[in-house]
């Protein structure tokens, strides 16, 4: 059963930012009583050196400001990633930003080469496309807002600060990497306990996705670690079709970072019933798909990352994401080798998901 989502797809990003969250995320009630009943699980799990009540949370994307983070904590999501920020204000794509996608079964790479029909009819099994363009408010706002979210986290809960660099026309490689340094310092100044750098969104690297450019990803990761020091660093990556490319990336970066988060989305061309582009604006014919249809890819990446960790003798934390729609999906990810698991689409429409998982831990 789909609940009222805490991010309303019928409203613009700005309206959600000002008015949200919605559904039971807005009732101000905490599910901490669930944790007190199951006191044996309190602070039991390790996440990058921090003790958390559960190895479960919400990744970068739906938690667009501190109000959303606080609501997620109240509902028992213990690892919350504050939506990806930048060094300067960056606009959001026009509405609509979220649509339901019609997919029969898994979104295989072969299916992703074709066109997917999307509309506003959200139904189970749920898959969606989200097209925001990684917007960001000014650092003056998000630094203060993120610092407040960090301060409000209760024992057993962790806020992760997510960010990415911004590519500009005529920018040198050094200027591009320096933008990561600048934003990493801004994040460090908020007091955030864990930092995540997004290497998995389009148009930020030389090969479309930065995570597919091993050399530059390593340069970026080293630059960030120079700034944040002992603060754990997670890299968020996309699905890798080529196992050798993934192996090369992990070999070069796995001893620099403390965590690897996978996956983001699988891109596909999104159209309406008439076969026309349904997300308005230039550069939006393709959009990332998430939800139940990409679980296979997330699980596959977790298994590969676990194998590579053992092969290279590394100790990075594996965060599994993609198609976690219910408690069974969470446990499937844990069995595959995920140290922590996160849900975006599933959590948005099932606001009790953390409570359901905790009842089985």
User: Would you give per-residue pLDDT tens digits along the chain (361 residues)?
Assistant: 899 999 999 999 999 999 999 999 998 888 754 444 455 457 789 999 999 999 999 999 999 999 999 999 999 999 999 999 999 999 999 999 999 999 999 999 999 999 999 999 999 999 999 999 999 999 999 999 999 999 999 999 999 999 999 988 888 999 999 999 999 999 999 999 999 999 998 644 444 789 999 999 999 999 999 999 999 999 999 999 999 999 999 999 999 999 999 999 999 999 999 999 999 999 899 999 999 999 999 999 999 999 999 999 999 999 999 999 999 999 999 999 999 999 999 999 999 999 999 999 9
Nearest to 111 by CA among 264, 276, 266, 321: 266
In a domain, 296, yes or no: yes
* 226 in a structural domain: yes
Q: What is the DSSP string of 243-303?
A: HHHHHHHHHHHTTT-SEEEE---EEEEEE-TTSSB-S-STT-SEEEEEEGGGHHHHHHHHH
Q: Are 349 and 323 spatial neighbours (Cβ–Cβ below 8 Å)? A: no
Residue 305, pLDDT score: 98
Identify the domain containing residue 230 by its residue range: 29-95+122-264+290-358
Q: Write the CB contacts of 54 (distance below 8 Å, at least 6 apart in sequence).
A: 41, 45, 76, 78, 354, 357, 358, 361
C-alpha 196 chain-centroid distance: 9
* pLDDT value at residue 293: 98
- Whole-angstrom distance between the N-terminal and C-terminal Cα of the chain? 22
In a domain, 20, yes or no: no
pTM tops 0.85: yes
For residue 331, the 8-state DSSP code is H
Q: Which of 6, 8, 17 is nearest to 137 (CA)?
A: 17
Distances (CA, A) of 215 to 79, 210, 264: 30, 9, 21
pLDDT given at position 359: 93
3-state SS assignment for residue 115: strand
Residues with catalytic roles: 201
Say what the pLDDT of residue 39 is: 53
Query: Is 206 domain-assigned?
Result: yes
pLDDT on residue 29: 84
**CATH number for 303:** 3.20.20.70
Q: How many domains does the chain have?
A: 1
Note the pLDDT of residue 33: 46
Q: Is 12 among the domain residues?
A: no
Asked if residue 313 belongs to a domain, the reply is yes
pLDDT at 7: 98
Q: Tell how many helices (H) and how many strands (E) occur in the chain.
A: 12, 17
Q: Is residue 22 part of a domain?
A: no
Alpha carbons 199 and 168: distance in angstroms, whole number? 16
- Is residue 328 a part of any domain in this protein? yes
């Amino acid at each position: 059963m789909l609940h009222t989502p805490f991010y309303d797809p019928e409203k613009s990003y700005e309206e959600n930012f000002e008015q949200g969250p919605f559904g039971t995320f807005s009732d101000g009630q905490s599910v901490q009583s669930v944790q007190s009943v199951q006191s044996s699980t309190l602070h039991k799990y390790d996440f990058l050196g921090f003790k958390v009540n559960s190895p479960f949370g919400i990744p970068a994307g739906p938690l667009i400001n501190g109000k959303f983070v606080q609501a997620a904590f109240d509902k028992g999501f213990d690892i919350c990633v504050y939506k990806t920020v930048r060094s300067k204000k960056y606009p959001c794509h026009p509405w609509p930003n979220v649509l339901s996608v019609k997919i029969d079964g898994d979104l295989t790479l072969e299916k992703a080469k074709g066109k997917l029909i999307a509309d506003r009819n959200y139904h189970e099994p749920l898959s969606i496309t989200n097209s925001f363009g990684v917007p960001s408010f000014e650092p003056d706002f998000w630094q203060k807002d993120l610092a407040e979210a960090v301060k409000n986290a209760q024992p057993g809960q962790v806020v992760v600060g997510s960010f990415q660099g911004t590519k500009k026309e005529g920018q040198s490689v050094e200027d591009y990497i320096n933008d990561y340094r600048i934003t990493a310092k801004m994040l460090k100044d908020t007091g955030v306990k864990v930092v995540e750098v997004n290497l998995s969104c389009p148009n930020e690297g030389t090969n479309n996705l930065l995570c597919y450019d091993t050399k530059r990803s390593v340069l970026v990761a080293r630059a960030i670690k120079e700034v944040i020091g002992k603060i754990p660093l997670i890299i968020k990556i996309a699905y890798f079709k080529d196992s050798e490319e993934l192996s090369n990336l992990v070999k070069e970066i796995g001893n620099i970072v403390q965590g690897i988060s996978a996956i983001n989305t699988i891109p596909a061309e999104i159209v309406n019933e008439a076969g026309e582009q349904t997300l308005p604006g230039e550069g939006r014919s393709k959009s990332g798909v998430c939800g139940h249809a990409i679980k296979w890819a997330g699980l596959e990446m977790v298994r590969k990352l676990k194998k590579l960790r053992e092969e290279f003798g590394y100790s990075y934390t594996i965060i599994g994401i993609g198609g976690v729609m219910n408690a069974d999906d969470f446990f499937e990810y844990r069995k595959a080798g995920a140290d922590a698991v996160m849900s975006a689409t599933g959590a948005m429409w099932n606001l009790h998901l953390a409570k359901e998982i905790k009842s089985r831990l």
